[in-house]
Amino acid sequence: MIVGTSKTAVIESIAVTLPQATMSPIEAAMEAAKQACYETVLTLPYPDDGRLYCNRTFDSWGCWNDTLAGTKAYTKCPGFIKGFDPGLSTAFKDCNKDGTWWRHPKTNKSWANYTPCVNMGDFEKNRMLIYTFISGYTVSILALAVSLGIFCFFKQLQCDRITLHKNLFVSYILTGLVWILYYVFAALDAQVLIDNPWWCRALHVICSYFTACNFLWMFCEGLYLHTIIVCTFTSGKTLMIVCYLLGWGLSIINTTIYTIIRSTHPTESQRCWTDESELMYINAGTCIASILINSVFLISIIRVLITKLRAVNSPDTNQTRKATRAILILVPLLGLQYLFILYRPDTDERGLQIYSIISAFVTSFQGLFVACIYCFFNGEVIAIMKRKWGQHKLMRGGRRGSSRRGTLYSTQITSGEVPKPTESHVNTDL
């Protein structure tokens, strides 16, 4: 006896096929597995021995036959899921004594254990890669937080250019924080990826939003520089409003569209949305466009710089040196280093691992490089901090001098002596 649903209902719910023209590779593989399950299991005669069984089903990954109540069902690991090894082991599913499949307490949905299918070798390689990301993001966040404190503390640094830097730095920090949370609570736990809870999908969406914001603020840096250098007669206020709308607003639209489409696409909603999907280009397209446009901005900025250097009869060696320096400074700010890792090579496993490590390093440590170039090693910032430190030392020395003179005066009055006039140091506001 089967508990749950009729044979007709099972077949009708499982055997619906999608148009082949709209399928991604993983969708096509899942559809093929579904069809194979329909032909080999779902259409078989039901057991008629009078005992209690859990009903046959296909859960998008595995095909499960009728299973005697109080026992386990086993099925081959799917080969179309990234990180699974079909020859490694088998997945299993518990059939309760009442003839119903065991339900996960967090989701209250029928659940199968695919943990044995995880290729731990690949998982450990990914773990090391994730640790690289976490380390880079942590160091970058600390450096960026200090830089933000410097930018906010010194009033001499308050201008549109620094305001853009502050927004870019905030986007770096938020992006790094959410990715660290995602890696720690989702990506490093294979069981979470298999369970696919709502919160890890929500965290993926937040990561996508702030990543897009980060790239758009890089674009805003390029737009601002190009506008003030090439188009000299532009309202700074209007330009800043445009940057705010692009930097924080445009990603809301893209991410919302991406979330709605992917959440309504069953085959794209597995493993906390970590599997590659063509839908990712909704947000990734914006990021790629930002990099490509910034590369055009850089070429235009360097062209104007060289033209101005030639106008003042600067030597060729001087022109080359200044142009090279400008390129090296602007590349991390505009995110142009991503041009070198934009395309993932179709190479062997070793080559792909090297590419992944380089990509992780470049991505996670970018915030540190930008903080160093535009804050810690910036001549203007260093000069202001030195001046502030000089003021602090002068004021502290003045207070010590006043204290000593006060003590001397008190001693002289007590002894009946009249103090001699001394030269006073006037503390001027530098």
* Per-domain boundaries in the chain: 2-117, 121-377
Model pLDDT, residue 399: 60
Backbone angles phi, psi at 188, to 5 degrees: -85, -5
CATH of segment(s) 2-117 = 4.10.1240.10
Which range is least confidently modeled, 8-17, 259-268, 359-368? 8-17
pLDDT band at 404 (very low <50, low <70, confident <90, very high): low
Closest to 17 in 3D by CA, of 7, 30, 5: 30
pLDDT tens digits, 220-248: 999 999 998 887 656 678 899 999 999 99
Q: Which of 22-36, 124-138, 169-183, 235-249 has the highest mean pLDDT?
A: 169-183
pLDDT at residue 391 above 60? yes
pLDDT tens digits, 31-44: 888 899 998 888 88
Average pLDDT (93-106) is 90
Residue type at position 175: T
Model pLDDT, residue 347: 66
pLDDT at residue 429 above 70? no
Sign of CA dihedral 331, 334, 339, 342: positive
Model pLDDT, residue 428: 26
Under DSSP, the state recorded for 60 is S
Residues 59 and 54: their CA atoms lie apart, in Å, by 14
pLDDT at residue 124 above 80? no
Which tops the pLDDT comparison, 397 or 287? 287
Model pLDDT, residue 9: 35
Residues 224 and 239: their CA atoms lie apart, in Å, by 7
Domain with residues 121-377, CATH architecture: Up-down Bundle (1.20)
Average pLDDT (196-216) is 92
Average pLDDT (51-71) is 92
pLDDT tens digits, 1-23: 544 444 333 333 333 333 343 45
Closest to 121 in 3D by CA, of 85, 81, 87, 75: 85
Residues 174 and 177: their CA atoms lie apart, in Å, by 5
For residue 383, count CB atoms less than 10 angstroms from its CB and return exposed for 0-12, middle for 13-18, buried for 19 or more.
exposed
**216 Cβ neighbours under 8 A, 6+ residues apart:** 246, 247, 250, 251, 286, 290
